Every structure is written in C-alpha cells, then in structure tokens.
C-alpha cells in the first residue's frame, strides 16, 4: 500500500565516500539532481537537504547521519529521501536504528530512486536489503585483504612506491624511477660515510641537486621534507624487503642497498633508527671502534682563547663513547686528531699492496668513477627540470598579476622568492 507522501516531512540525504565500495556510485551532485527531480515529481515536502562524504561501513562515523536520526526522533521530520538504501547504511548497527524507527512508526517513509519502504511493510524486506549492503562491505574487505596478501607473497608492495621507485600500472609491479633512483642511492652513500647528518643530506639534495618528489594529481613536485629523508633511511624496502603488519616479505623489486648498509645507517641514526643530534662533522666518526669494549669512537671540538693574543684556537679530540654496559672500558684518554692521523698513517705504512690487488682496486675506482659520472648526469637533469619548473611558476605568477588575480604585495613577495630560487638553481648548474 502506497503511503500518502503529502503528510510526510522529508530529509534529503546524499552520500558518497572516496573508498572503494563507492567508486561506482553517482556523485553527490548527480544524486542531488535526480533526487530533487524525484521530489518534485512525487510532490515530496523536503525540509532540509544533507550531504556527507563519509564511509558507512562503520557505525558512529557519520555526524550528519547521526544528526538526521536525532532530528527524526525529535519529530522534526518523519521521512528520508536518498539514492539507494546503501546510502543510509552499510553496517548492522545503523541498519538496526533505521529498522526500529520504521517499526515504531517514527519514520513513516524511506523513499529511494526506485522504491519506498514503509512501517507496514514486512520488516524482513528492509533487513535483507540492508543486510546485502553490509555483506558487500564484509566481502569487499575480505577480498581486498586477500588480494593484498597475495601481492605481498608474490614479492610486490601494495600502495604507492617509495621514493626512487615507480608503480608500473600496466604490469602491477614496482620498477626503478630512472629520474630519482641514483639520487636516492647517493643520499644513502652520503649517510654511510658517517660524516653527514640527515638534515645536511636533505639540504644538499634539495638546494644543490634540485631534488623534487614525484608529481601526482594534487600533491608532490616539491622539495623532500625532513620526515621524508628519515622515512628513506629507516625503510627496509630499499634492501629488497617488504614490511607489512610486522611481517617481512622478500621483495622482487631491485634493491638499492644491502642489509649491512641498512644496519650501519640505523646504527648511525641511533637506537631503533631514531636520529640522534649531531652538530659537527668529523672524518673518522662512524669508522673507528674501541679496542677494549667495541663501541664507536666519537669526537668533539673545544675552543681555547690565547690570552696574550686573544686568538681563538680549536682542538679536536677523539674518545670512546663507552655506551656498552657488558664490558668495562678503561679507555678514558682523549686522542688529539693530529695524533690519531699519525697513528693511522703508521698503521697503513705496515702494508704493501700486491700488484694484482692494485689492479683490482684501479678497476674498482674506474667503476666508481663511471657511477659518479652517471650520478652527476642525474643531478644535472634534476637541476634542469627543477629550474624549468620554477621558471614556469614565475611566468604563471606574472600572468596572474596581469589578469589582476593577485595583488601587488602578494606578487612581489612570491616573485622575489621564486627569483631567489631561480638564481640559486642557476648557480648550482654552473657548479655541477
């Protein structure tokens, strides 16, 4: 039996989330257009229109939906107009609320694009249709997790590839980013020397190499962030290992570093890969260990003022960090850097390089030289691309001023900043 809709006050509700279950659903604007036309055709009394961009798969996740239910219980309306029943609910809790409101007669009508749900209808019909929506979510979740697990077990990471890699959308695999792979590897090389901190490497990459992240539709194409550099240096992905949910999988993508190199960087960063403050760069830190306890040597520079002349002299000393509690270390002396260098020279003089090893070393140096040439080429390409992009931004800014889309103050501020970037990038190109 058809309800007399002229006595019912409706809330119009349109919903679409960005999640996978809603990809095929009409946009909110399309829903509104069709529903308003339907309201006119059926002479429905629409008291208020609501829109919401939230997922319905979990209860208590939609403040607008909760407001509608509360206002219906308060008697402000007694009908809901929506696209389909799955726009109202995809979980049993919200479905139960709607079903109970219908059974009590508080909700007189749920009108969708193709049918009407009434209090006198068999409650089983509404329960089945809302249950189908809920089961769809459960099946989708299971299938998604199953698909992700299958991909991980095959050796391929899900989601967006880390910096230095690209998603091959056609073959559904991860490949090297020809533009950034060598540059990210160069960041690892700088870190592995023990002479550079992550912030220093970040400064070199962004300001000397002109490094920019991948450009997506709405994000990217900008300098690497501080959190981004630490994310690189703490990610097992670069070793050829995929980590997901505490489980490690052997990846099929081309690895960038070895596990030994990864472990060394974690040691340099500090316990559990958390960076420790480092204010100076010293030649031998990260390379020398104590002969007693096995801990790394650290260094510090002290200043001394010569009273007679007022001259300030700096003295650098090395000493054991004594970070272990397992071995009692009696190395308490500070070693001046000059003495340490002499000791290293004396140790090296004890050894003679065999001709075959010399040849092997020269071949290695030639190979390293080829790599450095390729790295310089990649840096040069990145600098050129960044310069062209910055110059384009400057041109677009000028056009916006001509069209009077921005005021003089904003134009001058942005123009000065971009011109400074262009000048710095040109200087970096000359030095590359």
Number of Cβ within a 10 Å radius of residue 122: 8
One domain for residues 388 and 342: no
One domain for residues 336 and 213: no
Q: What CATH number should be reported for the domain holding residue 100? A: 3.40.50.1390
One domain for residues 133 and 171: no
Domain boundary among 308, 331, 351: 351
**288 phi and psi angles, rounded to 5 deg:** -115, 135
One domain for residues 121 and 30: yes
One domain for residues 171 and 253: yes
d(CA 416, CA 258): 44
Tokens of residue 351, six digits = 């050894």
**Which strand ranges, in their side-by-side order, compose the sheet holding 109-111?**
45-52, 9-15, 79-82, 109-111, 116-117
One domain for residues 145 and 187: no
pLDDT value of residue 134:
58
Domain boundary among 303, 327, 351: 351
Length of the chain: 432
One domain for residues 9 and 135: yes
**pTM (two decimals):** 0.42
One domain for residues 199 and 144: no
DSSP state of 163: T
The one-digit pLDDT tens for each residue of the chain (432 residues) are 455 556 899 999 999 876 554 555 678 888 999 999 999 999 999 999 999 988 887 888 899 999 999 999 999 999 999 988 888 888 888 888 888 898 888 999 999 988 888 887 755 566 666 656 556 555 555 666 666 777 888 888 888 899 999 999 888 899 999 999 999 999 999 999 888 999 999 999 998 888 999 888 778 888 999 999 999 999 999 999 888 877 788 889 999 998 888 888 888 887 445 443 444 567 788 778 888 888 888 888 887 777 777 676 788 999 998 888 788 888 878 899 999 889 888 888 888 888 888 788 888 777 777 667 676 677 777 777 777 777 777 778 777 776 777 777 777 777 777 777 777 777 766 665
One domain for residues 53 and 115: yes
The residue segments making up the domain with residue 299 are 282-351
Tokens of residue 319, six digits = 């000493």
One domain for residues 166 and 185: yes
Q: In three state form, how does the secondary structure of 51-91 look?
A: EECCCCCCCCCCHHHHHHHHHHHCCCCCEEEECCHHHHCCC
pLDDT value of residue 278:
45
Q: What CATH number should be reported for the domain holding residue 166? A: 3.90.1750.20
One domain for residues 317 and 361: no
DSSP state of 93: H
Domain boundary among 313, 334, 351: 351
Count Cβ neighbours within 10 Å for each residue of 136-173 and write b for 16 or more, e otherwise: ebeeeeeeeeeeeeebbeeebbeeebbbbbbbeeeeeb
| Total domains in the fold of the chain | 4
Q: Which residues pair with 32 in a beta bridge?
A: none
One domain for residues 177 and 236: yes
């Amino acid at each position: 039996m058809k309800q007399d809709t002229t006595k019912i006050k409706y809330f119009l509700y349109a919903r679409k989330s960005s999640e996978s279950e809603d990809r095929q659903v009409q946009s909110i604007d399309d829903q509104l257009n069709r529903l308003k036309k339907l309201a006119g055709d059926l002479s429905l009394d629409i008291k208020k229109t609501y829109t919401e961009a939230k997922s319905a798969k979990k209860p208590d996740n939609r403040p607008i939906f909760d407001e509608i239910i509360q206002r219906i219980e308060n008697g402000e309306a007694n009908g809901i107009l929506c696209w389909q029943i799955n726009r109202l609910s995809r979980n049993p809790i919200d479905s139960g609320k709607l079903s109970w409101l219908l059974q009590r007669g508080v909700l007189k009508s749920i009108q969708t694009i193709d049918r009407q749900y009434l209090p006198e209808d068999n409650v089983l019909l509404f329960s089945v249709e809302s249950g189908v929506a809920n089961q769809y979510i459960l099946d989708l979740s299971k299938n998604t997790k199953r698909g992700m697990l299958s991909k991980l077990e095959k050796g391929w990471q899900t989601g967006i590839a880390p910096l230095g890699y690209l998603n091959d959308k056609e073959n559904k695999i991860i490949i090297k980013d020809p533009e950034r792979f060598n540059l990210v590897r160069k960041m690892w090389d700088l870190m592995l020397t023990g002479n550079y901190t992550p912030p220093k490497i970040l400064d070199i990459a962004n300001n000397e190499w002109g490094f920019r992240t991948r450009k997506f539709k709405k994000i990217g194409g900008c300098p690497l962030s501080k959190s981004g550099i630490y994310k690189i240096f703490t990610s097992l992905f670069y070793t050829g290992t995929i980590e997901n949910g505490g489980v490690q999988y052997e990846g099929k993508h081309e690895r960038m570093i070895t596990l030994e190199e990864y472990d060394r960087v974690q040691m340099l960063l500090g316990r559990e890969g958390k960076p420790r403050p480092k204010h100076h760069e010293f030649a031998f830190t990260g390379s020398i260990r104590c002969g007693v306890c096995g801990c790394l040597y650290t260094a510090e520079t002290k200043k001394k003022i010569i009273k007679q002349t007022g001259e300030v002299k700096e003295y650098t000393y090395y000493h054991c960090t004594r970070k272990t509690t397992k071995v009692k270390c009696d190395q308490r002396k500070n070693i001046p850097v000059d003495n340490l260098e002499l000791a290293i020279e004396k140790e090296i003089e004890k050894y003679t390089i065999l001709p075959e090893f010399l040849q092997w070393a020269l071949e290695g140096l030639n190979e390293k030289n080829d790599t450095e040439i390729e790295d310089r080429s990649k840096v040069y390409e990145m600098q050129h691309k960044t310069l062209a992009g910055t110059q384009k931004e400057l041109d677009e800014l000028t056009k916006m001023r001509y069209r009077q889309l921005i005021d003089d103050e904003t134009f001058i501020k942005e123009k000065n900043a971009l011109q400074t970037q262009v000048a710095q990038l040109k200087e970096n190109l000359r030095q590359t």
